[in-house]
Amino acid sequence: MNAQKYLYLPTAALILITALRLAPAAQAATNDNEDFKWQEASKELDAFPFSQAFTDSIRKAHAGALAQQKGLRAVEPGRFITGETLVFDVGWTVFKAGYLILSATHIRSRGFLRVGAKAMTGNAVSAIYKVRNYEISWIDADGLYPVLFEQHVREGKKYKADNYVVYDNVNNKLFLKGDKVFETPKFTHDYISVMYYVRSMPLNPGDTFEASLFSKPKTYPLKFKVHDKRENIHVGGKDYNCVKVEIAMVGEGRVFTKRDKMFVWVTDDKDHYPVMLKSKAKIGSLNAKLVQITK
């Protein structure tokens, strides 16, 4: 896999693509994942984020833009604003590929929701191509739009990359590490912030809405449709009453084409937990299932 090509893909998609590429190996050794300790593996990633001094230097370099970020919009943030950790088992067809851990912390003193996403391949896939990635989105706690995005990539035996994106939601620009600047629509999201923005929506059957998503080097419109039928989903040993949300990414160069289908089942309550994700494509069925919730 060319990791650089997938640099700005979501962590879940990165694991799914890795699983697809290595499916034969995963099939041959899928039982190896049974003793994979994601709690221990996740600790390997704790040293990846930028230091406070470096993060402060980024904010200082973009102080003008960041100083104007507050109060641009207000949405109902949902109960996840109090903090939570969600753990997903990710795989291809019936084979396990790894885990995705989403941890949200409300930093009240600074007005941010800090959400970290850790992606880790399990034992079977790691034996051939190990993934330990950590992405962090600093999100305005009132408006649920991103202000700063960190990405820390560790793949295979040698590949390593540390990147960031600064969101200027006043002047509709993005600043990437390396002084690259992109024009974007207001309130453009990263792959983490868009999930929490969607969770803040009412998600009533029949609802449709849109959001903008940056995936280097372009910004794509995402279209969401809430299906009319509610469903009971059993994952992680529990049953959840859910609404089904269909997601479509519009534009050339997207990961999923219009012939493919991506669905997320979200709990039909105030929490709006994403409990299951599936994508049916020519290449097979990709999935992520919620296995643990910690508040």
- Could you report the per-residue pLDDT of 59-69, keeping only the tens digit for each? 899 988 888 88
Residue 41 confidence (pLDDT) above 50: yes
For residues 252-275, give the mean pLDDT.
77
d(Cα 273, Cα 293) in Å, to the nearest integer? Answer: 9
Q: What percent of the chain has pLDDT over 90?
A: 54
Cβ neighbours of 282 (radius 10 Å)? 7
d(Cα 166, Cα 214) in Å, to the nearest integer? Answer: 12
Range of the domain at 248: 3-294
Residue 81: pLDDT band (50, 70, 90) is confident
The reported pLDDT for the residue numbered 224 is 93
Question: Which range, of 71-80, 107-116, 209-218, averages the lowest pLDDT?
Answer: 71-80
List strand residue ranges (DSSP E) for the chain, in order: 84-92, 95-107, 112-121, 132-140, 146-155, 159-168, 173-176, 180-183, 208-215, 218-235, 238-249, 261-267, 274-281, 284-294
Residue 277 confidence (pLDDT) above 50: yes
136 in Cβ contact with 115 (< 8 Å)? yes
For residues 144-155, give the mean pLDDT.
94
Helix H or strand E encompassing 275? strand 274-281
d(Cα 86, Cα 92) in Å, to the nearest integer? Answer: 20
Question: Where would I find the H helices in 91-222?
Answer: 123-126, 193-199
User: Tokens for 186?
Assistant: 């207001």
Question: Which range, of 35-49, 207-221, 250-264, 279-293, averages the lowest pLDDT?
Answer: 250-264
Instruction: Report how many domains make up the chain.
Output: 1
The reported pLDDT for the residue numbered 73 is 92
For residue 161, what are the contacts with CB-CB under 8 A and spacing of at least 6? 3, 4, 7, 151, 152, 153
- For residues 283 and 118, which has the higher predicted lDDT (pLDDT)? 118
CA-to-CA separations, 95 to 30, 78, 91, 283, in angstroms, rounded = 6, 33, 6, 14
281 beta partners: 284
Residue 258 confidence (pLDDT) above 60: no
The reported pLDDT for the residue numbered 284 is 62
pTM of the entire structure?
Answer: 0.87
133 in Cβ contact with 107 (< 8 Å)? no
d(Cα 200, Cα 163) in Å, to the nearest integer? Answer: 28
* pLDDT tens profile 165-204: 999 999 999 999 988 999 999 999 998 999 999 999 999 9
User: Tokens for 179?
Assistant: 């002084």
Residue 249: pLDDT band (50, 70, 90) is confident
The reported pLDDT for the residue numbered 256 is 47
Nearest to 184 by CA among 235, 225, 156, 149: 149
Residue 161: pLDDT band (50, 70, 90) is very high
